[in-house]
Amino acid sequence: VVERLGAPLIEPIFEELAIIGVGLIGSSIARVARRRNAARRIVLADKSVGALERAKALGLGDVVTDDLARSVRGADCAILCVPVGANEAVGRVIAPALKPGAIVSDVGSVKGAVISVLQPILPGHARLVPAHPVAGTEQSGPDAGFASLFINRWTILTPPDGADEDAVEKVRGLWEAFGAHVEIMSAAHHDLVLAITSHVPHLIAYNIVGTADDLAEVTQSEVIKFSAGGFRDFTRIAASDPTMWRDVFLHNKDAVLEMLGRFNEDLTALQRMIRRSDGDGLFALFTRTRAIRLGIVAEGQETAQPDFGRRAAESGEPAS
């Protein structure tokens, strides 16, 4: 278990790293890459003037620009850190400017759609290694990022068939330098796993807040005032960025609909247990689920901290 970020690397992994999209994830990568000397030069690009100004003020990169093509011109690795639906537009702009052999990666929460969009756009010489750091918060923008975000979290790489092995190893090394554990799987499997562990839970959180807000009998101020543990903890992720999550659901339709179908079947079974006063059935399910939930804590993927450890200090404290 990694406790904190190691010392700066003596030899950087990349000469020049371009990060496109300087939001929560992109700015966290910039911070940790700088801290670990993972790249000799860090170039940041974004379309948001506000994000670029903050990135400059925070000193997150050696170059900060709104010119996406220019940002990748000298890069041996470019990481797209924009909402999933923006990858195509970004890919089209950067493709002609990529250096021969440049690695192109991303951090999107959906992988199949990202590969099918980027693969045909990128030049044959570019080496695509999609990645998804399973780490984040419900906040956005350059100020929300922090260097320890990825410590002890998993990053999933989904190299397409025939991906360049050296490029995969370099991207693996980069994420390991950020303190992450790396796993490799197919994009289709990633999308199915994340549908149940991340996408459907977000949908349910958004939905329950919407339901509470639509109730005629309960006012919004009552919901906020009496949001005891259940509503408060359960709905933290309903504050997540609407653009990012719209794009996740539009680009992982099949897996999300499959998992929602299973969820609905199980919810119907639970409804029946309540209607039939089946206490044994409810108790058995809650006992089973409790053990699984406690396992998440035991695996170091959760802490007892009130902020879930997600705002780990810039001091390098673990974000577990």
Q: Is 22 in the site for ligand NAP (CB under 6 A)?
A: yes
Least distance in Å: CB of 18 to ligand NAP?
12
Least distance in Å: CB of 86 to ligand NAP?
4
**Residue from the set 112, 133, 159, 316 that interacts with ligand NAP by CB under 6 A:** 133
Residues 29-58 that bind ligand NAP (CB under 6 A): 46-48, 51
Q: Which structure tokens are listed for 308?
A: 């879930």
**Residue from the set 94, 113, 209, 244 that interacts with ligand NAP by CB under 6 A:** 244
Q: Is 24 in the site for ligand NAP (CB under 6 A)?
A: yes
Least distance in Å: CB of 22 to ligand NAP?
6
Least distance in Å: CB of 266 to ligand NAP?
26
Q: Is 84 in the site for ligand NAP (CB under 6 A)?
A: yes
**Residue from the set 39, 72, 86, 195 that interacts with ligand NAP by CB under 6 A:** 86
Nearer of residues 222 and 233 to ligand NAP, judged by Cβ = 233
Q: Which structure tokens are listed for 224?
A: 């906020």
What does each C-alpha distance from 103 to 27, 31, 90, 165, 182 come to in angstroms?
19, 20, 15, 11, 17
Closest to 77 (Cα-Cα) out of 32, 39, 113, 108: 39
Candidates 21-29, 123-131, 225-233, 262-270; binding stretch for ligand NAP (CB under 6 A): 21-29
Using CB under 6 A as the binding criterion, the count of chain residues that bind ligand NAP stands at 29
Q: Is 26 in the site for ligand NAP (CB under 6 A)?
A: yes
Closest to 178 (Cα-Cα) out of 120, 240, 105: 105
**Residue from the set 71, 105, 109, 155 that interacts with ligand NAP by CB under 6 A:** 109
Question: How many CB atoms are located within 10 Å of the residue 273 CB?
Answer: 17
Nearer of residues 102 and 180 to ligand NAP, judged by Cβ = 180
Nearer of residues 20 and 259 to ligand NAP, judged by Cβ = 20
**Residue from the set 17, 38, 39, 82 that interacts with ligand NAP by CB under 6 A:** 82
What does each C-alpha distance from 45 to 168, 215, 267 come to in angstroms?
23, 43, 44
Q: Is 155 in the site for ligand NAP (CB under 6 A)?
A: no
What does each C-alpha distance from 175 to 196, 269, 305 come to in angstroms?
24, 41, 25
**Residue from the set 17, 23, 44, 148 that interacts with ligand NAP by CB under 6 A:** 23
Q: Is 25 in the site for ligand NAP (CB under 6 A)?
A: yes
Q: Is 136 in the site for ligand NAP (CB under 6 A)?
A: yes
Rule CB under 6 A: which residues touch ligand NAP?
20-26, 46-48, 51, 81-84, 86, 89-90, 107-109, 132-133, 136-137, 140-141, 241, 244
